[in-house]
Structure 1
Amino acid sequence: MRHVQSPVNTKLPPPLVAKSPARGLKPKFPAAETGRQPTRDRPQETPRPVDDPSRENPQETPRPVDTPPSKPVEKLGMRKKAVPPSGKIVTPNLKMFLLENLRTATKNFRPESMIGEGGFGQVFKGWLDEKTLAPSKPGVGIPVAVKKSNPDSAQGLHEWQARKFHHPNLVKLLGYCWEENQFLLVYEYLPKGSLENHLFSKGEALTWDTRLKIAIEAAQGLNFLHNSEKSVIYRDFKASNILLDSNFNAKLSDFGLAKLGPINGFSHVTTRVMGTQGYAAPEYMATGHLYVRSDVYGFGVVLLEILTGLRALDPNRPPLQLNLVEWAKPGLTQKKKIQKMMDPRLEHKYPISAVIRTAALILRCVEEDPKNRPPMDEVLRELEIVRTMRDEPKEEKRKRSGGGPDNNRINRYGSPHVRGTGRTR
């Protein structure tokens, strides 16, 4: 009698259910990111899409927990768990600094070394040897900006560096330190500080050409993020995050709030509302829905600050002027009102035709409905046109117009309307 061997139970263990990330939980990066292979004792968890925490993908076949992937599987928009308070980030061209060395480089983070402070930490100026990046004496070597950041920002750093977002108009990240429950980022140092300081301080005023150059270069950085292979929403575009080098070249900084853009057919991602009031788009503040063109709203606010020299929000102004956008919008279609809004420190040294066209662009950027805002590549093209605009001498203008009166109203695209005719010229 022949015995038949009973079949082996090949049923796979049930797939793990994704849990929402919580602080203090250790992440489980793919093997290529951490250098460790997953085992039965370290099951991989299925991440959950950012845009809808409750959505499960029924078409995705779970991977057996004991089968390591042949290469890292990474999907855009997936949320990973918070990073522990110490560790190593395996990314190319990113130096891991010792906390002791950064203390030496910044004079032990003394107050006189602090050059900035924000919601995500303090920034200190330090000095490193140009070749070895070892700490050096003040004035010797290269200056760097050392940011003492929230440990939760480590995950953002990992994702940011892994995607190799390098661009001339993004501040370059040199390295990091991750010791004693402290997380520090080391950036290139930009000696001219932020656009905010130049617009609102009592120092020498920026010229029209310099302001426009800064706006264009900031737009180039934002356009790069929006149109990169893995679209990024900056989420906190404001004047204080635009830093300037010695030649007033503009670079975007502080990517602590940056988010991957919507995927899988979604028009937006849903996230906890964070950012800066006055710059954040109204739909984001009201619903938490974040669109790529939510950044365009913030850009329009900064462009309005560049024109007027006024802050987006200022409690010291009269109540009706508290919010710059709400106060300025009705007048951005009228030439005389635009001229009255202009920063007096410019001393009328600007081409009015370029200013009018910029005002029309601002109106489009701060539209209530994000669908009506232009994409950043269109904004950039418009600013390049503005840069070429120069007002002709008054005598030539008077001859060409037949000595007619100046026009006081413009359409939303910046074309002056001839009174009483409905024509544009």
Structure 2
Amino acid sequence: MSGRQRGLKRKAAEQAEIKAKRAKGETDLSDNLKWDYYGEVVKNVCPLLTLTSSTLPGCQKAAGFDIDFTVIKTASGRKFATGASDWEWWDESVPGKLRGLHKDGFRVIFFTNQAGIEKLKVTPEELQRKIEAIIKALDIPVLAFVCTGENQYRKPSTMMWEYWESKCNQGVKVDRSKCLYVGDAAGRAKEWAPGKPKDFSCSDRKFAANLGVKFQTPEEFFLGESPAKFAWQTIDPTTVLGKVAAEKKEYHSKSPEMVIMVGAPATGKSTFRKRYFEPHGYIAVNRDTMGTMQKCVKAATEALKAGKSVVADNTNPTPAARKEFIDCAKKCGVPCRCFVMDTPIELAHHLNYFRQNQTNGGVRRIPDVGYNVYKKNFGAPTKAEGFTEIIQIPFVPKFDSKKDEELFKQWT
């Protein structure tokens, strides 16, 4: 066996040993820090990866940090790390600052989005090794919470922080007014400083705002620089609160009919259907649950022939998508009405994330491509298609609980 082969065999054995330790929740770190997963498996991975301790005392105040390009940067100079060891401190002041926070009674915590795990671009073991190396170099206890994909824990959702507060702080109540969060995704435009690129998002700033904790960029916290101009980059959900529209108390018909819903993803079609049609006996047909248009049309035909009304709850963006339902109504001799969700696309994007968080990941968010396809194909409904009536439904916030309202107010 050559020296290279022996080296590869030794490396493979080391990786297997590391993976086995991770599986048992064991690490080389002190303070009984252990890795664990939380949440229901989606796409072969749990949504939340945690590094916590059952023996560290709880803290009233926390200093949260993003990791990449906040605490560390790639040693290779690349945008994405080439491996677990491809890192160096973002600035030489970082370790001293973090140790100082620990000395002052803060619990130092990493909160990081790592969608690359779900996309199979990085392994959990690789990320674990990197985080462990950072903590060993700091020589202070640090907790870590990793969102592994595009799920309900992804910042700016507050669920990672709330998980720490409720399950990993030994029951100690946190005073968020004394907490802070530092991250580089701050909504700064290109050239916010000479030669600086645009921030890829504003998720870190929104994360802090949703929590109600102080926010700073790495430049502000570590280097003492003045705040730069920024933009939130998405709609402020509070701007639509208090909106009032003349709302009909009844939208249903007392005789059998076909209703076709039209609207981009997450514009409130299903909520509208459940609130105004299903309580009156309407049968819902939906390709997401039934699988094919043929099954939807068959179910609609059977319901109409049985004297029931039907509501077709899909995006239905084109005349072609609506035609089969309209033809079905004609064959069964019933009128067909169209309800168009008049919700701005930027608000629909917000509702998309809100729905995922509201259902605790039960309903996954629709990828942006779904909105692009809808916008590209959309053709406004007309009576020439065979509708007896076309009704525009403006978005009016209406919440079933105070918790839902507070969640809706959060930046997404």
TM-score scaled to structure 2, two decimals? 0.28
Which structure has the highest helix share of the two? Answer: 2
TM-score scaled to structure 1, two decimals? 0.28
